[in-house]
Amino acid sequence: MVEKRIKHLYNRLMALGYSPFHVERILQETIGIQDISTVEYDQQQDLIKVLEEYEKLGTEYMIAYSK
């Protein structure tokens, strides 16, 4: 379930215009590695929070500049 949420957020960020490199960099900075299959549950929760914040910022940016 958690990995599914992370993948959904990853795809959402890509749809908002984030580059794969940028999203991978977010993973690296948040949990220290890019492979989410080896991280613990707490780290996954931290990653979800960070990805949700980036999704929020990306959505706000798209709304502001689509007017």
Confidence (pTM): 0.85
HEC letters along the chain: CHHHHHHHHHHHHHHCCCCHHHHHHHHHHHHCCCCHHHCCHHHHHHHHHHHHHHHHHHHHHHHHHCC
Read off the pLDDT of residues 17-51 as tens digits, 9 standing for 90 and up.
Answer: 999 999 989 988 988 876 777 788 888 899 999 99
